[in-house]
Structure 1
């Protein structure tokens, strides 16, 4: 997920996504369902989170008897606008958008409003919610602060060194990192902060350089679990197995890594829940039902002590 931190729109943070089928190209990749409601889903990227989110949305759309057209912007704001224009041409009932850049939203919303097609957002919400149909929101600042809180408790007042492997520069990553840095105790010093671009190969390179420059590193915050596995690999190869990693998502693989000690903690924000919420609430709002316009997705800091409480992350195929 990539967003700009400088925007005329205030963000309700999120790790998020929206509705539909993960696509491999910028334009429409098909549709599902046969009801009177047609949804256009514009996905923002290609991570495991996006894939799980879209599985949830596809399955929920079928349950709700809604037809869905899908596209993927692959982290490109220009492609996002093109995808939205394509969905508008299909005269969908509503657009569900996982934006790649918050600065893009003003133009996206204006384009849709001119065609009388409402937009439902995932991950973020605009400061003026009158501009949108609704949003499914995850508080990304809280995600970061929960991980920071775990480090604070674990460090127990000792002076410690912390490294950050961020995502792609922009709002989602910036909010995660901002929440994390703001939640650290004064005794924790951030000695490195580099973007892994939500790309495991890039994250591994960053981690290799980080541990070489800071061999006494105590903790690392990694913006998602896919990158965290690569960071763990890099640290272990460098003989830094004692560096404790905190991260976010709550996938089955991530929970297994918490259980066996590869990760110390992860913040679960269920992609399945976000996808289900986005579809059901968008349809409910279209039907003028009593549905929360802004839906906040629950978060849970997961450690070895509460693994069984973690929500299901990805729908079963």
Structure 2
């Protein structure tokens, strides 16, 4: 759906002030690490799935690698831990200089890091972090803080009234658990979570969950949905069930969601730009490989977005011509 004209401020700044003040040395950075990476670099990028976040993350990684004259080899684990480990092994066989990894789960990550470390190939993480001694670096999204921002909007909007809240989570695992935990823990005592079901980061599944939720809880006031693709499907199901009064708060800050904020389909979202995450990952990985100054653990900026400030929200997904 074409969007109304609006002023956008692309946020491609390296906003690194919120990360941990850790050393800029990489996993295997020894005395001659800089000379080992003075020439053209080959980076491996192992993505975790096919959601809009993953697609935009990959686009950003590809653009930034090209702009920094790095060769890029890509693979997708499709939310499967076994496939992820196989992809890591393939990157090792290709002898990439470093692997940028969007993991499918923290459980899978342990095996991945052990495999890469034994092969002497550093790993740079996106979205989550790990023991700094085991990784080249990371760009993390504070997912608990993301969920908490949505919860605070609910608290402000409820204004002390007793309200019912439903949660449509993603797939069980690191990202969804942190998001939902941050949201539920930050809710006020007057907001009761009456339903919490996984939508598996799948629009069709989320639509079915919303339909069931609307039938079981006709007095539902709010729904927290763990990404905007699911939130659009949930909105359709709520409306079809006569639950159009349910206010949806969600996560990401895509162009489509900003339009939905403006026309009232969504009430709030939290911007955490996949474009920023991908750009920071590539730039910082290259800098750390070459022993240049960069923050080892950086944070993707987050921001609560509503109808009132949608026109100045950060750009979520980069375009290939930027």
| From 264, 268, 282, the counterpart of 1:265 | 268
Tell me how far 1:115 sits from its aligned partner: 1.1
Taking the aligned partners of 1:104 and 1:272, their CA distance within structure 2 comes to 24
| From 193, 205, 210, the counterpart of 1:207 | 210
Partner of 1:293: 296
Taking the aligned partners of 2:205 and 2:222, their CA distance within structure 1 comes to 19
Tell me how far 1:101 sits from its aligned partner: 1.4
Partner of 2:100: 96
Which residues of 2 match residues 45-84 of structure 1 at below 5 A? 45-84=49-88
Unaligned runs of 5+ in 1: 1-11, 13-34
Partner of 1:252: 255
Taking the aligned partners of 2:297 and 2:155, their CA distance within structure 1 comes to 31
Tell me how far 1:237 sits from its aligned partner: 0.5
SS at match of 2:201: coil
**C-alpha distance after superposition, 1:114-172 (max 9, x if no partner):** 1110000011111x211100001000000100000000000000000000000001111
Output the TM-score relative to the length of structure 1.
0.88
SS at match of 2:260: helix
1:162 is aligned to 2:165: yes
| From 131, 134, 137, the counterpart of 1:134 | 137
1:238 is aligned to 2:228: no
Bigger relative contact order (CA 8 A; separation at least 6): 2
Q: Name which of structure 1's ranges 159-168 and 300-309 shifts more when overlaid on structure 2.
A: 300-309
| From 111, 114, 118, the counterpart of 1:114 | 118
Structural RMSD (CA) = 0.9
1:227 is aligned to 2:234: no
Taking the aligned partners of 2:182 and 2:128, their CA distance within structure 1 comes to 15
1:181 is aligned to 2:196: no
Taking the aligned partners of 1:108 and 1:50, their CA distance within structure 2 comes to 19
Taking the aligned partners of 2:116 and 2:92, their CA distance within structure 1 comes to 7
Taking the aligned partners of 1:309 and 1:218, their CA distance within structure 2 comes to 28
Taking the aligned partners of 2:319 and 2:89, their CA distance within structure 1 comes to 32
Unaligned runs of 5+ in 2: 1-18, 20-38
User: Which runs of 4 or more aligned residues in structure 1 lie more than 3 Å from their structure 2 counterparts after TM superposition?
Assistant: none
Taking the aligned partners of 2:218 and 2:167, their CA distance within structure 1 comes to 14
Output the TM-score relative to the length of structure 2.
0.87
Partner of 1:316: 319
Q: Name which of structure 1's ranges 257-266 and 100-109 shifts more when overlaid on structure 2.
A: 100-109
Taking the aligned partners of 2:238 and 2:113, their CA distance within structure 1 comes to 43
**C-alpha distance after superposition, 1:151-200 (max 9, x if no partner):** 00000000000000000011110100000001100000000000000000
Tell me how far 1:221 sits from its aligned partner: 0.2
Taking the aligned partners of 2:220 and 2:87, their CA distance within structure 1 comes to 43
Larger Rg: 2
Aligned length in residues: 283
**C-alpha distance after superposition, 1:207-262 (max 9, x if no partner):** 00000000000000000000000000000001111110000000000100011110
